[in-house]
Chains A and B, each alone.
Chain A
Amino acid sequence: MGLEKYIPDGIILTTVEKAINWSRKSSLWPLGFGLACCAIEMMSTFAARFDLARFGMEVMRPSPRQADLMIVSGRLSVRMAPVIRQLYDQMPNPKYVISMGACASCGGVFNNYAIVQGVDRVIPVDVYVPGCPPRPEQLIDGIMKLREKIEKEKLKSVE
């Protein structure tokens, strides 16, 4: 508080941890991974009315090696499970996963032989967004909770 008096305008003082977390949360690059109906609501969220570009997420990378957020939108079938595991392993650290919709969080409406009952049986999940499909505002709420989570990360935890 006393130090700012002696510093000229245009310079801010912060910790390395806060700066890294701020830059990570403000430019998450999602992986283009839409499975089923929730993918259409995700596309609506990226479109003009509920814009996601204002959160820095307009660059949707098709390749997992260049993305750091995977939004699993839709039902995960048993045949697709090894594919999603391989995609998750290909993403570089730090990576985050949002499980969008009821089918991705817990199997949803479908309790049968062909659907994995929750995507967290295959990959670790950070934020669960319920709904069938969740409204774009709900997905944006989930993304903001993820940003709060990233803000609180310590430097040592990211390996």
Chain B
Amino acid sequence: MTKREMMTINMGPQHPATHGVLRIELDLEGESIIDARPIIGYLHTGIEKTMEAKTYTQALTLTDRMDYLAPMSNNLVYVGAIEKLMEVEVPPRAEYIRVIMTELTRIASHLVWLGTHAIDIGAMSMLLYCFREREKILQMYEFVSGVRMMSSYFRVGGLAQDIPAGFDKRVKDILDTFPAKIEEYEGLLTNNRIWLNRTVGVGVISAEDAIDAGLSGPSLRGSGVAWDIRKSNPYSYYDKFKFDVPTGVKGDVFDRYKVRLEEMRQSLRIVAQAVGGIPEGPHTTTDKKISLPPKSETLQGMEQLIHHFKIVVHGFTPPKGDVYFAIESPKGEIGCYIVSDGTKKPYRVHFRPPSFVNISALPKLVKGRMVADVVACIGSIDIVLGEIDR
């Protein structure tokens, strides 16, 4: 006489397919899942409290470490929130370059997503191909800022330094070679029988459930809701560029995969429009209390030297108040809530991470499916543990 019992199994913090230190408790009956409970907090860093002890520009370097696959997106949301609070005018040259670097960041993040998602499902060579393309974008990061990943290139009022000569040529090289690579990935996966068997109909979530659960970004667009913050509340000159927002139909893993592939193509389209016409001008705002003066003037003029000293040692002081500013990061809506009390250090900084809200919808996606589908669903939501735990 056999008895059926429910078994609780732990997909522990160290696991090859959980994309970091995520722990999931699965209640199983045989191989089918009754409930799944994600447990987070194994990478909690206390970034928000550490930022309260540093000046605004020092705290910017900590924002790179949250979503470490798309570091410039985090920089942009933090800098954008302070600029909204202080009503700073950013020059057009800086805005164009910010758009180019943010879209390249989006492509880099989607490449890591594709590589790790495919290797979890079984297509091992995709990881090597995607990381090969990502090297080109990391070389662009190094070209403008000197650092491969954590660049902190954006500053309040514009950029840290101007782009060197030869930037146009390198970006155009990437634009020439990339579309063929995306075709290569599609040819490997989209009509592949194994891929279709493992992704079509898996992890379905309807549009109402997705909005109720707070999903945003490609995870929400895969279910058919056409909401992209770059179109609905444009920031940083996105309303000047033409691009489409791809949506899915059913809301399964395959739809989210198609949405992200198409987003890579649209990002290339935006970069092509932007790199053709970068305007001349200063790379940072002309407000002397916020941005550093050019080095040649600092070495010769007394007033510029004093400004340089005050900005570096003391920093700028925004007015009192609090704002919330959100942008479209590769994973969804990332928001930054800043409270300022009129001093040089932020009083309270909070980031609304898209992965934190997206992973809380995991139980809805996997109920009733089998254990192997958990891996596919985690991959399709595209989480980054650094952002979830902050």
Cross-interface CB contact of A80 among B42, B127, B129, cutoff 8 Å: B42
From known contacts A33-B14, A41-B149, infer whether A49 and B135 are also in contact, taking CB-CB under 8 Å.
yes
Bound-complex Cα distance A52 to B12 (A) = 27
How far, in Å, is B45 (CB) from chain A's closest CB?
A: 6
- New A-B pairs, 20, CB < 8 Å, besides A37-B65, A44-B131: A32-B14, A33-B14, A35-B20, A35-B43, A36-B43, A36-B68, A44-B134, A48-B129, A77-B43, A79-B41, A79-B42, A79-B44, A80-B13, A80-B43, A83-B13, A109-B62, A110-B47, A113-B46, A114-B46, A133-B148
8 pairs, A vs B, C-beta closer than 8 Å: A33-B14, A44-B135, A48-B128, A62-B15, A83-B14, A111-B50, A114-B45, A115-B46
Interface residues of A in 116-142 (CB under 8 A from B): 132-133, 135
From known contacts A83-B14, A112-B49, infer whether A37 and B68 are also in contact, taking CB-CB under 8 Å.
yes
How far, in Å, is A130 (CB) from chain B's closest CB?
A: 14
Bound-complex Cα distance A133 to B386 (A) = 14
Is A47 an interface residue, CB under 8 A from the partner? yes
Contact A114 B44 (CB under 8 A): yes
- Give the chain B neighbours of A113 by CB distance below 8 A: 46, 49
From known contacts A35-B21, A40-B112, infer whether A132 and B150 are also in contact, taking CB-CB under 8 Å.
yes
Bound-complex Cα distance A40 to B130 (A) = 13
Bound-complex Cα distance A34 to B17 (A) = 11
Bitwise interface map of A from 42 to 76 toward B, beta carbon under 8 Å scored 1, else 0: 01100111000000000000101000000000110
Bitwise interface map of B from 137 to 163 toward A, beta carbon under 8 Å scored 1, else 0: 010000000001110000000000000
Report the contact-size class of chain B (Cβ under 8 Å from the partner): 35 or more
List residues of chain A with CB under 8 Å of any chain B CB: 32-37, 39-41, 43-44, 47-49, 62, 64, 74-75, 77, 79-80, 83, 87, 109-115, 132-133, 135
How far, in Å, is A59 (CB) from chain B's closest CB?
A: 13
Bound-complex Cα distance A135 to B69 (A) = 15
Give the secondary structure class of A's interface: loop
Contact A80 B149 (CB under 8 A): no
Bound-complex Cα distance A114 to B389 (A) = 11
- Give the chain A neighbours of B129 by CB distance below 8 A: 48
- Give the chain B neighbours of A40 by CB distance below 8 A: 68-69, 112, 149
What are the nearest 6 A-B pairs in CB distance? A47-B131, A37-B68, A114-B46, A62-B16, A112-B46, A80-B42
Is B317 an interface residue, CB under 8 A from the partner? no
- Give the chain B neighbours of A83 by CB distance below 8 A: 12-14, 42
- Give the chain B neighbours of A41 by CB distance below 8 A: 148-149
Bitwise interface map of B from 70 to 82 toward A, beta carbon under 8 Å scored 1, else 0: 0000000000000
Is B385 an interface residue, CB under 8 A from the partner? yes
- Give the chain B neighbours of A133 by CB distance below 8 A: 148-150
- Give the chain A neighbours of B45 by CB distance below 8 A: 75, 77, 110, 112, 114-115
How far, in Å, is A55 (CB) from chain B's closest CB?
A: 17
Bound-complex Cα distance A70 to B369 (A) = 34
- Give the chain A neighbours of B50 by CB distance below 8 A: 110-112
Bound-complex Cα distance A43 to B138 (A) = 14
The residue on A at minimum CB distance from B112 is A40
Contact B16 A32 (CB under 8 A): yes
Is B289 an interface residue, CB under 8 A from the partner? no
Bound-complex Cα distance A33 to B47 (A) = 22
From known contacts A33-B14, A112-B50, A132-B150, infer whether A47 and B127 are also in contact, taking CB-CB under 8 Å.
yes
- Give the chain B neighbours of A87 by CB distance below 8 A: 14
- Give the chain A neighbours of B236 by CB distance below 8 A: none
Is B61 an interface residue, CB under 8 A from the partner? yes
Cross-interface CB contact of A77 among B42, B68, B127, B149, cutoff 8 Å: B42
